[in-house]
Amino acid sequence: MGANVVCFEQEKDGWPFLKRRQRLDQPSANVVTQLLLDAIGGEEKPDNPSAYIADAVASCPQLVVVSNAVASCDLVSKQRYRFVRDGIDALVELIGLKGQIGGTLEDFFWKWKLDLAQSGGDNIKLDVYLDGRSVHKETSCIHLKKGDHTNPQNCPRIYYQAVALPSGYYVFLLYVGPHREGDLEKIHHLDST
């Protein structure tokens, strides 16, 4: 199922020593909690999601943030920052491949250990205009997700639409942030240069 089992040893790599049947005191519990979060979340880069997305957009102009799509991305739990970074990196790779992934989107994102949802979730209507005329109009609920059945900050979502237009292959970021409820409508005007 893709799980990774890690066995920790007492008194190694910062793990505390506990005798059999010893109660866990608060300082030890804090240490264990932090070590578990580090192990689950992986190595954290200092950049918050908004800074990471801004760097990705700067280096890949076909990755387009639509209106306020990333306004709440920094509200995801810190241990989910890696999910946002991996999701953005996967979408940049998808752009580089111009959508020619040689298989299904599920398989493509699975290589990144990302879950793709193509049903459920919010419906987001996107209208894209170039030189004053509509070049793309679609309603979609496709998104990348991490986590279920917990608080919204631990269930981040990346809603997007990938579109081949005469001017190039684009990924439009429609929402990046904690789990949310409710449909949206978005409009974007592409720069013709």
* DSSP labels, 150-179: S-GGGS-EEEEEEEEETTEEEEEEEEEES-
- pLDDT per position as a tens digit, 63-104: 999 999 999 999 999 889 999 999 999 999 999 999 999 999
- Asked if the model's pLDDT at residue 46 lies above 50, the reply is no
Whether 20 maps to a domain, the answer reads no
| DSSP bridge partners of 145 | 115, 157
pLDDT of residue 111: 93
**pTM of the predicted structure, to 2 decimals:** 0.75
Whether 39 maps to a domain, the answer reads no
The H or E element containing residue 117 is strand 115-117
Whether 30 maps to a domain, the answer reads no
Q: Domains in the chain: how many in total? A: 1
Q: From residue 122, how far is each of 11, 21, 30, 146, 164 by CA, in Å?
A: 47, 48, 37, 15, 23
Q: Compute the C-alpha angle 135/193/93, nearest 5°.
A: 70
* Separation of alpha carbons 188 and 186, rounded Å: 7
Instruction: Give the 3-state secondary structure of residue 63.
Output: strand
Q: Which two tokens stand for residue 12?
A: 């190694």
> Please, are residues 64 and 28 in contact by the beta-carbon 8 Å criterion?
no
> Please, are residues 111 and 86 in contact by the beta-carbon 8 Å criterion?
no
% of the chain with per-residue pLDDT over 90 = 60
- Asked if the model's pLDDT at residue 43 lies above 70, the reply is no
Average of per-residue pLDDT values in the chain = 88
Whether 3 maps to a domain, the answer reads no
Of 113 and 5, the one with more pLDDT = 113
pLDDT of residue 1: 56
Q: Which two tokens stand for residue 154?
A: 């631990």
Whether 105 maps to a domain, the answer reads yes
Of 28 and 162, the one with more pLDDT = 162
Of 136 and 149, the one with more pLDDT = 136
Whether 42 maps to a domain, the answer reads no
Residues 6+ apart with CB under 8 A from 76: 49, 83, 84, 153, 154, 156, 177, 178
Q: What is the mean pLDDT of the segment spanning 127-138? A: 93
Of 169 and 19, the one with more pLDDT = 169
> Please, are residues 17 and 31 in contact by the beta-carbon 8 Å criterion?
no
> Please, are residues 49 and 75 in contact by the beta-carbon 8 Å criterion?
no
Q: From residue 81, how far is each of 44, 90, 134 by CA, in Å?
A: 7, 14, 35
Whether 9 maps to a domain, the answer reads no
% of the chain with per-residue pLDDT over 70 = 94
pLDDT of residue 73: 95
Whether 2 maps to a domain, the answer reads no
Show the domain range for 84: 49-190
- Asked if the model's pLDDT at residue 45 lies above 70, the reply is no
